Chains A and B, each alone.
Chain A
């Protein structure tokens, strides 16, 4: 696979969202990622929508296919001793092993770091459990959606005076996956210099708390709990999301669900924004001239901004503001994102044919970086179950077709 990690192979035991979003980054960079799945316990993402035509089918889940692009897929039941033995053989020819079972599970399967380093001494292995491999809560049940509230993020999210709120999706998962990919790269870099592998114990919980650091410090150092404050921040005003003119979008969706975010930091930006609104005189209004004033009179300020946006299209507001050097952008729906002219111009979306013709060519979010010297490319869509059995068992491990057939018969390859 072309890319800066060409030649690196990843034995991928991960499932659901967090783990696969880590190995997705490695696949994007050119590593050969071999996802080990089993029909005995199908990956949760394969069982979740959306599916083309709305018909459930484990090979067609858009959710799974988004986060497993560019990976190879095999079916192997690692609950069976023979399956585990084959998994060890795959690790022996890999550079990285990744898993995200609950704390302690991979050790009980006999596939923990201490065992795997016997077959691959310079292995880099990452475990991404919910709570880490040690400590009293280590074996607790975890899913990404619960990491958001556990990390403190929900306590700090929401409108002023309201109860805590979820951030709307399972943010703990991709955040853990991104941190994990970085940690694996650091370990690979170290291995390249020293020849030494290592084990990475990552707690999804800890990696989610790491991104709300000053909220935690505010308590540890000042004994204060930050308040939920909707879309406001101390250092900018206006800083919020304002309702725009109603317009029909799709049948069944409310016409007034149209918004634009606007933020002014400096007084110069505020002045420019007053010009955009056709209210140049307001720039010198003593209530709003300085940030301190705008913060004190933020309710009145927001009313003025909202009265201006409510008669306008959100993208029109964006263009008017940005042309004047004022930060503004509509909170984009999934449709607006898919149709975003900038993302499309940058070639962000990946459209590769999927092995299941019912899936065909779909539009997936692609690589978040452009590398000038080592362009990365998704070489293939996500695998259907067992798509690469022949390649991995036959070509890489050298099994005969008779052996493969026999293991399939006994549901080791399953």
Chain B
């Protein structure tokens, strides 16, 4: 549903969104590129609406839910109610895609599995997003996000070695599965437009996350080693100066020095010399060590950390001097001063850093959306990508529960009597 002149990539697609938390980012991705996504909520409202954080402590206004439901419309309809069938059928006839995240078998039991849906709408695409996929020995296991990132191998890589594996924030299991679900949905639509055939797209959160494990799988397959977590040092299992999180006067920065594309480590030393804070790093053995600190050297360390020997002390000393240098500067001094020398120092951004960043401001990344019923304009995260012809846009604020009941009943030519009867029966 576009407004104005700008076309949207997916504005001829209608999606029925039956998804819980696991799949709501999927339908958001589709809606933000213009698909007409209709949330089919239970009459009591989508339970995800109750999850924190809230807008100004109001438990009826979940920021978590709002962020996942931009551009969608809402109808309240209990699809498991015996009298809901005919209305759902009408709705389905107008839809191209159904997205769901129920336990496998749940929709089949209602007669609304792929077989049931495709009887009503033969070329429908059903995208199912679940923890383990539709079949296999663990298919019916419960899988909230923490289980997803645990079973997908991602959590094993995060945290301090002596402490528990650490959850990445903001439900990345749901997010990864949702992106994969959105891509699977689109390629199925592409295929439908060529052949006229719909299909069932079965997405597993475990498999979606397993794709994100970097070298972990091959580290086992090729050299039978475990990849272990390294805490604040980041991804390299050895304390290498200039790689990892460092404390500044007003927060933290992340260094990733000596990698290809950027300046060599010696440019960092030049900076320290220029500020008269190089201490004894211009002396041997530190100077030569710094001159050799590049990807080839790091790769060698990766291979045989045992051979490090006396180098550990040299590295530890360089790191101490660098830690002192960073600790006297602000995040911005490190970021700008570093990047000006092609040294990769990045800010460990707080949400405030993001909201105030000049690059993001220049690109107008944050998106303001007016909510008349709140009497407020909410500031949303912006586009993950910018399509030149069919831009990402928030065209419609997230819906109130059942906000589009009347509108959709009108579109579907549901009579007032039918509607009243459904209401009386508790189906809408």
Q: Is the CB of A328 within 8 A of B9?
A: no
Does B423 reach chain A (CB closer than 8 Å)?
no
- A154 in contact with B348 given A212-B170, A220-B379, A243-B164 (CB within 8 Å): yes
**Nearest CB on B from A162, distance (A):** 8
Whether a CB of chain B sits under 8 angstroms from the CB of A4 is yes
Once A136-B359, A168-B229, A170-B235 are accepted as A-B contacts, the answer to whether A364 and B385 lie under 8 Å apart by CB is no
Q: How far is the CB of A367 from chain B (nearest CB, A)?
A: 7
Q: Which of B210, B252, B363 contacts A365 (CB 8 A)?
A: B210
CB-CB < 8 A to B149: which residues of A?
Answer: 331
Within 8 A of A (CB), among B372-412: 376, 378-390
Binding-face segment, B74-82, B132-140, B272-280, B317-325? B132-140
Closest 9 CB pairs of A and B: A62-B218, A219-B351, A168-B158, A168-B157, A373-B199, A220-B379, A137-B359, A327-B142, A334-B216
A242 to B180, CA, bound (A): 30
Within 8 A of A (CB), among B175-212: 175-177, 179-184, 186-191, 193-194, 197-204, 206-208, 210-212
Interface: B86 (CB within 8 A): no
- A352 within 8 Å of B (CB atoms): no
Instruction: Please tell me if B299 contacts chain A, counting CB pairs below 8 Å.
Output: yes
Name B226's closest neighbour in chain A (CB-CB): A333
A244 and B211 alpha carbons, distance in the complex (Å): 27
B210 touches A62 (CB 8 A): no
Minimum C-beta distance from A181 to chain B (A): 5
Q: Which residues of B contact A397 (CB under 8 A)?
A: none
Interface residues of A in 1-58 (CB under 8 A from B): 4-5, 17, 21, 25, 29, 44, 47-52, 54, 56
Out of A168, A249, A365, name the residue touching B226 (CB < 8 Å).
A249
The answer to whether B136 and A345 touch across the interface, beta carbons within 8 angstroms, is yes
Q: How far is the CA of A52 from the CA of B222 in the complex (A)?
A: 5
Q: Is the CB of A146 within 8 A of B256?
A: yes
Residues of A within 8 A of B180 (CB): 178, 368-369
Central interface residue in A200, A213, A329, A373, by most chain B CB within 10 Å = A329
Binds B, one of A73-81, A189-197, A406-414: A189-197
Q: How many A-B residue pairs have CB under 8 A?
A: 530
> B168 near A365 (CB under 8 angstroms)?
no
| Interface of chain B residues 5 through 47 with chain A (CB within 8 A) | 7, 9-10, 12, 25, 29, 33
Residue-wise interface mask of B (242-270) relative to A, using a CB-CB cutoff of 8 A (1 in contact, 0 not): 00110100001110100111100000000
Is B295 interfacial (CB-CB < 8 Å)?
yes
Residue B141 CB within 8 A of the other chain: yes
Per-residue A-contact encoding for B140-169, CB less than 8 Å = 1, 0 else: 011110110111111111111101111111
Please give me the residue from chain A that is nearest to B164 by CB atom. A241
Binds B, one of A276-284, A336-344, A384-392: A336-344
Q: Which of B61-69, B104-112, B281-289, B413-421 contacts A (4 or more CB under 8 A)?
A: B61-69
A56 to B298, CA, bound (A): 13
- Indicate if the CB atoms of A230 and B167 lie closer than 8 Å: yes
Query: Roughly how many angstroms separate A239 CA and B56 CA in the complex, as a whole number?
Result: 25
* Min CB–CB distance A160 → chain B (angstroms): 11
Asked if A231 meets B200 with Cβ closer than 8 Å, knowing A152-B351, A329-B141, the reply is no
Q: Using a CB-CB cutoff of 8 Å, which residues 221-249 of chain A contact chain B?
A: 221-222, 224-226, 230-231, 233-236, 239-243, 249
B310 within 8 A of A: no
User: Which B residues are in CB contact (< 8 Å) with A155?
Assistant: 252, 348-351
- B347 lies within 8 A of chain A by Cβ: yes
Q: How far is the CA of A167 from the CA of B319 in the complex (A)?
A: 22
Instruction: Specify the chain A residue showing the minimal Cβ separation from B197.
Output: A373
| CB contact between B346 and one of A29, A56, A146, A163 (< 8 Å): that residue | A146
Question: Do residues B354 and A216 form an inter-chain contact, with CB atoms below 8 A?
Answer: yes
Q: List 9 A-B contacts (CB under 8 A).
A: A63-B214, A137-B339, A180-B385, A219-B352, A254-B161, A322-B142, A329-B150, A334-B219, A369-B201
Q: In angstroms, how far is the closest chain A Cβ from the Cβ of B10?
A: 6
User: Across the interface, which residues of A come within 8 angstroms of B159, CB to CB?
Assistant: 159, 165, 168
Band of interface residues on B? 35 or more
Residues of B within 8 Å of A235, CB to CB, are: 51-52
Q: Which of A178, A234, A325 contacts B183 (CB 8 A)?
A: A178
- B227 interface contact, C-beta 8 A: yes
Mask, A151-186, CB within 8 Å of B = 1, is: 111111111000111111111001100111111011
Inter-chain contact B235/A145, CB cutoff 8 Å: yes
| Contact A213 B170, CB 8 Å, known A146-B254, A327-B147 | yes
**Known: A66-B218, A146-B346. Is A334-B156 also a contact (CB below 8 A)?**
yes
11 additional contacts (CB under 8 A) given A178-B176, A225-B352, A368-B211: A135-B358, A135-B360, A136-B362, A149-B346, A165-B231, A166-B254, A206-B384, A250-B226, A346-B136, A348-B210, A371-B187
A213 touches B213 (CB 8 A): no
A70 at the interface (CB under 8 A from B): no
With A44-B260, A137-B339 known as contacts, the answer to whether A215 contacts B190 (CB < 8 A) is no
C-alpha spacing A206/B349, complex, angstroms:
13
A59 within 8 A of B: no
Set of chain B residues within 8 Å of A118, measured between Cβ atoms = none
Report Cα–Cα, A234/B348, bound state, in Å.
24
Q: Is the CB of A240 within 8 A of B164?
A: yes
Distance (whole angstroms) from the CB of B75 to the closest CB of chain A: 24
Contacts of B299 in A (CB 8 A): 47-49, 56
Q: For the complex, give the distance between the alpha carbons of A408 and B380 in Å.
A: 52
